[in-house]
A and B are shown apart, each in its own frame.
Chain A
């Protein structure tokens, strides 16, 4: 049998899909004829099915929601929020994780034990439970979700970086750098951390998909992005009681979300495979759904 779905075809499709989603998220809300937030003549506009025309003749690619707003335009406006929070949340988590992991491995002793104990404790609670508790702490909103995603997602990266730093710090070139009088922080930054960059990139890529899913979950439960600002999660929640009468309202935003997370996950998988081969236990740790 021939390799039909070769490595590069999947990667290329994933990248193309993400680029398309990003472009649509940026440009569709700018150039769309329908305002994604304004509520017009509700009775004439609401619940137009996909590919349908409303009473005033306007065409809607994916139909309209209960207030007559165009679903496709809203979905792309939501994509901005979801993509930004997914990437932002995952990057923030990676930054915190790198800092915590490198710091605790480099300092050792009590600091190491405290940081790792906290990481273990946070890993032992389902991340969603942690997110729900934290999201209830502050006013729900964009910044809250971002901070909470970062604060609950750093443990995986911290462990990876800590492991790499511990492995590398005993190597001769680190000792050589010390012997040449390079400062501790510079050795860490220039000679030790670059060794941990590969697994961290993989974890961060897969973390973006996770963060998008978690953000949508929080927004679905009403603890994330608040309407009228659309996010995929709160759009699905908005169509929840219409699931029988107008299923497209809830289902369409989910399709956008699935396509995005699918592309990110396939991309992350490829990165991981090319990084570690298929058998490395480190690679296995990456990408557990939390």
Chain B
């Protein structure tokens, strides 16, 4: 079963979870033997920007030691063999260029999203 995970929401509880919860879920399920492709669209494309830095948060005496490193997580998922695509028009509309983003993620046109859906048995839009 080939599953397409579509990630759209950006920075949804990422500080508290210390992860993007859908990248995390995909990582765990990939490790359990799942066959996944990821499509990042909308604002979630910003998770692939290499210059992100949310380190240094503290609350009273509590300091966050493991801030989310979303670009690293994206790269790690690619290293594990998961193809990660992003919608090129969504990136361009947000002022993002390929050089701003994690190497190895693959742009597709908005029009090609349908083709990507057709190529998978299940399409899960988170």
The answer to whether A and B come from one shared complex is: no
Residues of B within 8 A of A (CB): none
Residues of A within 8 A of B (CB): none
